Amino acid sequence: MRRFALLPVMILLLAATEKLPAQSTYISDVPVGIDWIVVPDGNPMSPEKIELGKQLFFDKRLSGDQSVSCSTCHDPDKGWADDRRFSQGVRGALTSRNVPSIVNVGLHRTFFWDGRAASLEEQALFPLENPAEMDIRLEQLEERLRGITGYRHQFEAIFSDGITAENIARALASFQRTILAGETPYDQFRGGHADALDGEIGQGSGIFFGKAHCGNCHIAKIYTDHQFHNIGTGLDTGTQDRGLATLTGREEDVGKFRTPLLRDLARTAPYFHDGSKATLEEVVDFYNEGGGKNPRLDKHIVPLKLTDDEKKALITFLREGLRSRDYPRIKRPKLPE
């Protein structure tokens, strides 16, 4: 875990910047390549709140039958994601979409594959109430945590109103903003180390931003455009997941999903919203063939005509060029009693 999770958080007030909104707060102690993580005004960071959020994240008592925690699906040993196509919640229920990694989740502007949450605080409450995930009423969770002396004392020390669903979400969001990874070979290259992308990694980088046009959506440095695209995934089930259209109600948004981040991609298989591709080789083949054909396919998804050597180099870049040297590994906390 980065040091701001244990020591006072370093905060920048960048009121005079041209790139970022005035009067915003940012975490400045971040890995090379990240730059900053936005902290909302209504949920300032503190070491105590981060620690509380970490405890909540690993605590199975947050689920209705006390069988799963947030870390069950976002496992630090599995890229802060899950290595199964669909994750298992309470009573053996399965999620309807593949669980994305939460590494660098603070870079996102919307959350979930369909963007239905506008903040990490809002996102934190969805899995708690979802019958296929943690399946607990927020009122029940508040009552349960109030019965745990250690939690009650921590909440009362951090929040004036103690244990509430909103404060549970604030603590979880604060912890998740500290799950950061960076200093990849590509980050080092952008920082002026020309030899960081030698050999096949460099060839793959050229293909990523050149012939394969991956950088159109996975924009350099952040590796997302914060947009939603139909690439033709999920067609093999017979019923296409409506994706963004679930939120907007617009038919043109059917099958659109948020562009994911790509750092440490090799740690987070399987891939896509439906977990349909088990390896990076399958992912590259999928794009090379022009995605999944359907009437709403994004206009940028076209056959790439990569050679076998080009595909190999591209996969090397995805696997090695985007692997973080500064990766979040933490010791699981002792839970309050």
Kindly tell me if the per-residue pLDDT of 272 is higher than 70: yes
Nearest one of 302, 262, 268 to 286, comparing CA atoms: 302
Quote the pLDDT of residue 238.
Answer: 64
Annotated binding site for heme c: 70, 73-74, 214, 217-218
- Mean pLDDT value across residues 12-34: 58
Domain 185-321 sits in CATH 1.10.760.10: yes
% of the chain surpassing 70 pLDDT:
92
3-state secondary structure of 330: coil
28-52 pLDDT, tens digit each: 789 999 988 989 999 999 999 999 9
Band (pLDDT 50/70/90 cuts) for residue 15 is: very low
Neighbouring-strand partners of residue 13: 25
Q: How far is CA 318 from the centre of its chain?
A: 17
Quote the pLDDT of residue 134.
Answer: 98
- Evaluate the CA torsion angle 248, 249, 250, 252 in order and state its sign: positive
Neighbouring-strand partners of residue 257: 229
- Mean pLDDT value across residues 3-16: 32
Residue 206, judged by CB atoms within 10 A of its CB (0-12, 13-18, 19+), counts as: middle
Quote the pLDDT of residue 246.
Answer: 93
- Mean pLDDT value across residues 271-291: 97
Q: Where in the chain are all domains bearing CATH 1.10.760.10?
A: 3-176, 185-321
Band (pLDDT 50/70/90 cuts) for residue 174 is: very high
Quote the pLDDT of residue 237.
Answer: 64
Kindly tell me if the per-residue pLDDT of 152 is higher than 90: yes
Range 8-32 burial, b when 16+ CB lie within 10 A, else e: ebeeeebeeeeeeeeebbbbebbbe
Quote the pLDDT of residue 235.
Answer: 80
Residue 317 and residue 200: Cα distance in Å, rounded? Answer: 7
99-114 pLDDT, tens digit each: 999 999 999 999 999 9
Quote the pLDDT of residue 145.
Answer: 98
Q: Which segment of 43-52, 167-176, 234-243, 261-270 scores lowest on mean pLDDT? A: 234-243
How far is residue 28 from each of residues 36, 139, 246, 269, 314, measured CA to CA in Å? 5, 36, 36, 30, 32
Residue 168: both structure tokens together: 């549970």
Kindly tell me if the per-residue pLDDT of 2 is higher than 70: no
Kindly tell me if the per-residue pLDDT of 198 is higher than 60: yes
Kindly tell me if the per-residue pLDDT of 4 is higher than 70: no
Quote the pLDDT of residue 14.
Answer: 29
Kindly tell me if the per-residue pLDDT of 18 is higher than 60: no
Rg of the Cα atoms in the chain: 20
Quote the pLDDT of residue 25.
Answer: 80
Q: What's the predicted TM-score (pTM) here?
A: 0.91
Kindly tell me if the per-residue pLDDT of 328 is higher than 80: yes
- Mean pLDDT value across residues 116-137: 97
203-260 pLDDT, tens digit each: 999 999 999 999 999 999 999 999 999 999 988 666 779 999 999 999 999 999 999 9
Q: State which CATH number among 3.40.50.300, 3.40.50.150, 1.10.3720.10, 1.10.760.10 fits the domain covering 3-176.
A: 1.10.760.10
Higher pLDDT residue, 32 or 19?
32
Annotated binding site: 70, 73-74, 214, 217-218
Per the listing, tokens 């994601």 go with: 81
* Mean pLDDT computed over every residue of the chain: 91
Quote the pLDDT of residue 27.
Answer: 84
